[in-house]
Amino acid sequence: MRRWLTIFSAGAASAMHERKKSSESPVIPKFESSNQALTVFLRESAVLKDEKGKAAASWARIADLGEKQRLEGILRRRGLRKYGLAVYVLDEAESFGTRGRGAKAAELVRFSAAVSGCLLARIYGAAPLADLQLRQETVLCQIKRLDLDFVGALAALRRAERVKDCGIAPAERARFFRVKASLLFDLGDLEAAAKAASERRRLHEEMFDFHGKGKALLQEASIARLFDPRTALDLAEEGLKLLSGPESKPLLSGIFSKCDCLIKLGRAPEAERLLSSRRDQIRQLCYGARQASLLSRFWHHIERNRT
């Protein structure tokens, strides 16, 4: 606990003394006392928790306004200049982005960024504000990627790279590496994409988030299967074991990756048995035309490569 608090407070400028340089070991921030670190942590945690609880109501009051009116409201109304609201709006932006409404999603990211630009580090802490900026750029990168605006996605990724080590939340860094891996995969840089997915896996492992680690393993497997099927097979097998919920996308991705690797390694009969054993799961997760299309794709892939 003490170690976590110390790391957390590293982002708060008021809690840091001058750093000492050393060629033999990393630079470690110095603090006036552990009591000061604890005070900073408790204050920031209480503020953030309180604001997150009120964010939905705050957003409901301005959600129907135009973008210009909302941005002007930030300057006029102190009640809108809240960390919790900036985070809540990012959740909304992600939801719009996954539903194909990229323009609306980007608008909400701009609002979140405008709010965070008014927030003070002495109140919220420099590290939480860095985490917020990292998430804003990561969400924007994903929105641009889904809209096939790869120039915009890369620009957002570069901005995110500059702040990814300034915060304290490993979950935000894991989100960054997930999106980075997806973007690099789309751009054809497979080895760099796999490396990003591997870094995401490491972060989930450090958080003891084994379900998240399972999804990271399956992302890495889906990339590595295109240039290293033997390694990808091991990744897929481990990832499938760690999934704890019926999430269709990672599970189906893992099944397909494992089948594809088995086929590439000359083990098509094993791929066929795997698909047969998972048939009920696939049927539970897919419905109608999508189910038929997916099953057909799997079987065709196996039949085409049968030895």
State pLDDT tens for residues 47-76: 666 777 788 888 888 888 999 999 888 888
Closest CA to 115 of 157, 84, 156: 84
Which of 6-20, 93-107, 229-243 is predicted least confidently?
6-20
Report domain extents, the chain: 199-307
Distance CA 116, CA 172 (A): 16
Distance CA 48, CA 124 (A): 8
More confident residue, 257 or 25: 257
**Which residues are CB-neighbours of 19 under 8 A, at least 6 positions away?**
27, 28, 29, 30
DSSP per-residue letters across 118-179: T--HHHH-HHHHHHHHHHHHHHHHHHHHHTT-HHHHHHHHHHHHHHTTSS--HHHHHHHHHH
Residues 211-270 pLDDT 10s: 999 999 999 999 999 999 999 999 999 999 998 666 667 888 898 899 999 999 999 899
Q: What sign for the dihedral angle of Cα 157, 161, 163, 166?
A: positive
DSSP alpha helices (H): ranges in 265-287?
268-277, 279-285
More confident residue, 206 or 26: 206
Distance CA 192, CA 200 (A): 13
For residue 21, pLDDT beyond 60:
no
Which of 28-37, 63-72, 87-96 is predicted least confidently?
28-37
| Residue 22 DSSP label | -
Distance CA 249, CA 49 (A): 31
| Residue 228 DSSP label | -
**Which residues are CB-neighbours of 43 under 8 A, at least 6 positions away?**
none
Closest CA to 216 of 230, 229, 226, 206: 206
Question: For 75-88, what is the mean pLDDT?
Answer: 88
pLDDT recorded at residue 29: 36
| Other Cβ atoms within 10 Å of 174 Cβ, number | 24
For residue 2, pLDDT beyond 50:
no
pLDDT recorded at residue 245: 67
Global pTM?
0.78
Angle CA 247–248–250, to nearest 5: 80
Backbone dihedral region of 172: left (phi > 0), alpha (psi from -120 to 50 degrees) or beta?
Answer: alpha
Q: Which amino acid is at 193?
A: A
pLDDT recorded at residue 32: 38
**Which residues are CB-neighbours of 30 under 8 A, at least 6 positions away?**
16, 17, 18, 19, 20
In whole numbers, what is the pLDDT of the chain averaged over residues? Answer: 81
The alpha carbon of residue 138 and the mean position of all alpha carbons in its chain are separated, in whole angstroms, by 8
